[in-house]
Structures are given as C-alpha cells and as structure tokens.
Homo-oligomer: A and B are copies of this chain.
Amino acid sequence: MSNFRNFKMVDYVVYGRGSFNQLDSILAPHRNNGAPMIFLVDHYFEHGAVTGNNKPLIDRIPVRGNDKVIFVDVTYEPKTTQVDKLAAELKETFGEVSGIIGIGGGSAMDLAKAVSLMMTNPGSSADYQGWDLVKFPGVYKAGIPTLSGTGAEVSRTTVLTGPTKKLGMNSDFTPFNQIVLDPELTSNVPANQRFYTGMDCYIHCIESLQGTYLNEFSKSYGEKALELCQEVFLTKEKWDDESDDKLMMASYAGGMSIAYSQVGVAHAVSYGISYLLGTKHGIGNCIVMNHLEEYYPEGVAEFKQMVDKNNIDIPTGICQGLSDEDFNKMIDVSMVMKPLWENALGKDWEKIITRDKLRALYEKL
C-alpha cells in the first residue's frame, strides 16, 4: 500500500497589493501578555530601501511595545549556527516571544521558520536537519516575501547549512502560520536578483513536472507556476505590476507543487556549490541549469531563451582551481540528496549518477 504525504498547509494566506498594511491587525490576536513580536528583516532594507509605494519598508513595520526589528545578514544562506545564536539571544533577552516574522527572500523566511522552531525545541537546529525530526511546534511565525520565486512561503522545510550538511528542518511544524503575499513589496527588486530568484521557481517546475514522483496535485500546481513564469520572463514585453503579481503567484504555486513531488538534478547539484562556495541558491541553480541539457533538454533550452531575453549574465568558471578535496566535498553534499535524485532519475539513480559523472559536471560549472 502506497502512503501519500498528508501535507500541512500554511494556516492563513492574504494576497493583495497593499495587504502588508494589514499586518498590524493580523498580528494583534497573536500577541501574548506583552511578549514581543520579532521581525527578522532582510538587511537589504536596513538603510531605507523602499517598496512599491515609495515608503521605506522599515517605516511600515507595525512595531509595538517591546517588539524588535533584527536585520539579518543574508549575504550567505542561513546557517544552523546563525539560527542557534538568534534563538539563544532572544531567549536570553525576552524569555518568551509572541512570534517571529520573516520579511525578505527565501533566506529571511527560512531563518524565521528555523528560529521559531528553536524557541521551543531543545539543542541545536543541526539536530533537526532531515525529515520529521522536529519535536515541538515553534512559536507563531509569519512569512512575508519581498522576492518571488523560492516557494519558502509555503514549504514544509527551512534550508540550513550545518556543520556537516546543507539540509532543511523538514516537518509538519515548519510551515508558517501566516503568509502575507503583497506584490508591491517586490516592485523594486533589481532585475538580476529578480531573475535568479524567479528561476528558482521555474527550475522547481521543470524538476517537479519531469520527476518520477509527480501526481495530479503537484502537476496542476507545477503547470500553473510554469505558465506564469513563461508569461513574465518570455511573453511579456516589459516588467510591470502585473508581472510582480504573477511571479508572486508562480512562487506560491511552485512551492505547492513540491508537496507531492521533489526538486531534481539542478537543486541536488547546486546544493554542493552553495555548501562549499556559499553561492546563493537562486544564482546557484541558474549556474547549474545552464549545463543540464542531458537531463532537461527542453527546460534548459527555454531557460537559455529567458536568460537572453532578460539580458542576464550567468556566471561561469566558478569551480576553476578547486582541489580534489573540494570536489569530493561537493559530491558528498549532493549525493546525500537521495529523494531529489530518485525523483529525477528513478529508483536506480545510483547507476546513472556516479561520483565521476558528478565530478565532470561540477568541473563544467
């Protein structure tokens, strides 16, 4: 008898231009006896970066009482040490908090999810990297994307780089209690960044739709997300509000599509370069996708069209000069991602993907 995942959904979703203005009233019922709300905000906003309505985002955060805004450095992706340190500081300063609100891209949202869980679970976040290891629900947590594409807003994981691996805290306790999808917040993202993060969604879809795990639930979400990506990155002549609206829905649908599917080769390989070189997830996926004709011929051809049409540079030669030890480390990290490989290539994936083959691929990047 096959067993299907019982997928935990985000509890509440609000979608709309300007819905960020509702945040104060959304948080109000979740404030417990003076314990603060903690806003983990992408450091991009620290010096007054504005969003769609020309007001600095930081001036719009509904800070009350002893609430705290913490700017998080997301130059590199979240680390288990960073999560543990944040949670420890919050416990020391406040004892308890009412909630953790992540505002930013996938890194800020994943940090918020992980810190929420580490407010109530003992030990280190590294202890929970894997599937269904988290023991207790975290504190209230909300995710507010200011970049579209990662799907972190709906996923049941929070991807962390730990002492020995890059792997998520994948559990039913991980999804947000609330997400606020306000496409205005994404209107001033630089075009390169927007593309890299948008491609995370596009690549999700290709990997999910061509994966062996696919069912009709994931297919319908994946097809819709793919179509939205194609509209904004290929069909439309210029970027406008509608593009932001659609890419935010693409990100959401792309994330939902992973419920009964998995990502595939691009993600499995890019985890290696992120782990070793600190390459951010979006651009890392693009660097890898550029060389995956063998696995996703049509998807890679369309990806290259999107790169051209949007005048994007994809870095090359990032693995030049690496040592054997470095390559072996990347291969180790990548080979751990068994469900990704199995989804991409089937049960016998280990016969197809050898260490040598993976080494040759890394050398091309």
Contact = CB atoms under 8 A, between A and B. Distances in A.
A181 B216 CA distance: 11
Contacts of A43: none
Interface string A231-275: 000000000001001101100110000011000000000000000
Nearest to A216: B245
Contacts of A253: 220
A162 B196 CA distance: 54
Interface in A1-39: 1-16, 18-19, 21-22, 26
The number of times this chain is found in the oligomer is 2
A217 B7 CA distance: 20
A8 B13 CA distance: 7
Contact of A9 (B13, B19, B245): B13
A310 to B, nearest CB: 21
Of A4, A11, A19, chain B has the most CB atoms within 10 Å of the CB of A4
A11 B215 CA distance: 20
A248 B11 contact: no
Nearest to A183: B216
A228 interface: yes
A223 interface: yes
A329 interface: no
A194 interface: no
Contacts of A4: 14-16, 18-19, 22
A304 interface: no
Contacts of A246: 216, 220
Interface of A: 1-16, 18-19, 21-22, 26, 178, 181, 183, 215-217, 220, 223-224, 228, 242, 245-246, 248-249, 252-253, 259-260
Given A11-B11, A13-B217, 16 more contacts: A4-B14, A4-B22, A6-B26, A7-B13, A7-B15, A8-B11, A9-B9, A9-B11, A13-B259, A15-B217, A16-B215, A181-B217, A216-B245, A216-B246, A216-B249, A220-B228
